[in-house]
């Protein structure tokens, strides 16, 4: 177990909630929809608010949502949230902006619409990063995956045993992640997640097994499943 004294200062978290999203089919952005009478993003922030190793949280939102999110942060008692800031055009740009407003040497990046990550998963991800340099939560892929060309023809069937579905949080040294983002910006490179940017620096990234319940709420079906998960946790 890594403690604050062993690893130095506690860890900071960038919670990314700047996306608009279209798959939910609602006028309201998915991260602000209610889950048991509370915005989804607040459920997410509360996980890190309760975590003993977390000292700073930066919430990155859409520019038009900064004020109401700041109100919610106060209303729901998120005391570790040092900043609510507007994001950029891409998720990658939003994370970069968040990095400029956080000071801890170790950083977690987490999706605002993943409210079911557990304290133990956060701790495991952090400990793995401290020990190995960088880490990401992920789960083994359950289904057979096909590689398909632009015309819909199957070109390959990768070995499922080597495939993992990547989740968040992802944990990095702040210096590595900042360097990775600056390099990507200079080269005009847009990655699909932060670990992809760090991998381009040659930093190895360790996979830490997460949970299938650590879902990213992006569709109406996800919201229904989230309600079921929340009720199950209360039993």
Token representation of residue 206: 């360790």
Q: Reply yes or no on whether the pLDDT at 204 is more than 80.
A: yes
Q: Reply yes or no on whether the pLDDT at 2 is more than 70.
A: no
More confident residue, 69 or 6: 69
- Residues forming a β-bridge with 86: 61
> Domain 7-234, what architecture?
Alpha-Beta Complex (3.90)
Q: Reply yes or no on whether the pLDDT at 46 is more than 80.
A: yes
Contacts of 119 (CB under 8 A, 6+ apart): 47, 50, 51
Lowest mean pLDDT across 55-59, 60-64, 112-116, 224-228: 224-228
Place 22 in a pLDDT band, splitting at 50, 70 and 90: low
Number of H helices, E strands in the chain: 8, 9
- 185, 175, 223: which is closest to 34 by C-alpha? 223
What average pLDDT does this structure show over 128-153?
97
Place 230 in a pLDDT band, splitting at 50, 70 and 90: confident
Pick the most confident of 30-34, 152-156, 216-220.
152-156
Place 60 in a pLDDT band, splitting at 50, 70 and 90: very high
- 201, 194, 139: which is closest to 172 by C-alpha? 194
What average pLDDT does this structure show over 159-166?
95
The whole-number pLDDT of residue 169 equals 98
Q: How far, in whole angstroms, is CA 190 from its chain's centroid?
A: 17
Spell out where 128-173 has E strands: 134-140, 147-148, 154-156, 164-173
- Residues forming a β-bridge with 111: 16
Token representation of residue 164: 């993992």
The whole-number pLDDT of residue 219 equals 84
In the chain, pLDDT over 90 holds for what percent of residues? 78
C-alpha atoms less than 13 angstroms from C-alpha of 179 in its C-beta half-sphere: 11
- Cα 84 from Cα 41, distance rounded (Å): 12
Q: Reply yes or no on whether the pLDDT at 54 is more than 60.
A: yes
The whole-number pLDDT of residue 55 equals 95
The whole-number pLDDT of residue 171 equals 98
- Cα 168 from Cα 195, distance rounded (Å): 10
- Cα 155 from Cα 95, distance rounded (Å): 34
Query: β-strand 11-17 against 54-61: which pairing, if any?
Result: parallel
Q: How far, in whole angstroms, is CA 100 from its chain's centroid?
A: 17
The whole-number pLDDT of residue 4 equals 41
Residue ranges covered by each domain of the chain: 7-234
């Amino acid at each position: 177990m890594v403690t604050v004294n062993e690893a130095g200062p506690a860890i900071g978290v960038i919670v990314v909630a700047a996306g608009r999203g279209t798959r939910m089919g609602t006028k309201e952005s998915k991260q602000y929809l209610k889950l048991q009478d509370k915005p989804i993003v607040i459920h997410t922030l509360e996980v890190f608010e309760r975590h003993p190793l977390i000292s700073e949280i930066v919430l990155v939102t859409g520019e038009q949502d900064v004020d109401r999110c700041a109100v919610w942060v106060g209303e729901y008692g998120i005391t570790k949230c040092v900043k609510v800031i507007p994001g950029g055009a891409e998720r990658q740009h939003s994370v970069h902006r968040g990095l400029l407003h956080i000071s801890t040497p170790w950083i977690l990046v987490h999706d605002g619409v993943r409210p079911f990550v557990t304290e133990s998963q956060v701790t495991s991800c952090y400990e793995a990063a401290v020990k190995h340099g960088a880490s990401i939560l992920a789960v083994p892929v359950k289904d057979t995956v096909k590689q398909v060309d632009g015309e819909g023809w199957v070109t390959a069937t990768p070995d499922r045993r080597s495939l993992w579905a990547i989740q968040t949080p992802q944990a990095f040294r702040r210096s590595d992640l900042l360097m990775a983002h600056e390099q990507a910006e200079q080269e005009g490179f847009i990655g699909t997640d932060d670990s992809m940017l760090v991998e381009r620096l040659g930093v190895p990234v360790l996979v830490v097994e997460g949970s299938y319940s650590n879902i990213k709420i992006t569709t109406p079906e996800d919201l229904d499943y989230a309600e079921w998960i929340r009720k199950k946790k209360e039993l």
